[in-house]
Amino acid sequence: MYSPKFTITNKTLQNIGVIEACREVINNSPLIPAYEKKFQKEAEIATIHHGTHIEGNELSFTQAENVLEGKQIVAGERDIQEVINYREVLDYLDKEKSLDYSEKQILKIHSLAVNKLVADDQRGKFRKVQVVLKNAQTGEVVFRPPPAREISLLVEEFLAWLNSPQGREVNPVLRSAVAHYVISSVHPFTDGDGRTARGFATLILFTEGYDIKKLFSLEEYFDKNAFDYYEALRKTDQTDENSFYERDLTSWIEFFTNGLAIELTKIKEKVRKISLDDKVKECLGGKQLALNDRQMKIVEYIEARKEATMKELKPLLPMISEDTVLRELSILIKQKLVRKKGSRKAAKYVIR
């Protein structure tokens, strides 16, 4: 049975600590519902755009967004189809909940990712030919995946580990990282391997409690650090070019967990801007509450400084009148989030 070899370094431990902290903040924020759909949509578009752009798709972020909204754009048919297909992949991941990981899931993700892009006899089927990856400029072979005859056994043994008691003891984030590497390195298809690897890795995160409200896009980190992404994969291949089973995944796992930590930190900071501290949560009795952007800015400012005067709050919202600021404060007071101390111009506002 395949058993991935890696060392949990201090860097990986640090990354996992950040991931867990962010996960806790995001999952327990009381103010997310008002923004959840908006953030999820942003994450979905980012995942689709960056997940295809990293492999050469030429659509801009806005063009990809327009395609997903059903708008007509002037662009290559393949680029448009790749974006449509990756949305289908994400829809599948959202519905697939089985913890018994299977070859069928991998083949399904691939079939959706390459719909109308490859011949039907290649969709959702392991390659039957040898492939190599070459440097586009020099023509040098930079990666030679295992022979086609070995693919089924390699995938079978990987899945056996993933579903085994030993495999399930491993942190889901690390399991996801291993899955991404294995599918990428085995390279079981003639096209669409990267999208399949990232899709299956995401399936593990989503299934094992790390969907984190589907507010993040790991693909964005990979795409914005594309050279480092491919270099991390290839360096792992080179730790033992002759034996797939003996390769050291340590550096790849560091890269993967670092990317997830960075993306989740971004989401955590985003959520914090619309979240309240423990004192407010206690005041709310754990209830969820929707605030508009102006109210969020006011609450965030007061929370950071413990108290604020009208004179201090007015510059936060320079494009609206003082009466409007007072009206927003009045709403917050009625919602028992903010309390007014004193009267007239000397009044101060504090978190209740």
Which residues carry a binding-site annotation for ATP? 191-198
Catalytic sites, residue numbers: 187
Distance, CA of 250 to CA of 39 (rounded, Å): 32
* Binding-site sequence positions: 191-198
CB-count exposure of residue 223 (10 Å: 0-12, 13-18, 19+): buried
302, 349 contact by CB (below 8 A) = yes
CB atoms inside a 10 Å sphere around CB 211 = 16
Strand, helix or coil for residue 121:
coil
Taking phi over 0 as left and psi of -120 to 50 as alpha, with beta for the rest, 199 belongs to alpha
- Token readout for 267 is 């989401």
Distance, CA of 271 to CA of 275 (rounded, Å): 6
Residues 6+ apart with CB under 8 A from 86: 47, 48, 51, 52, 113, 195
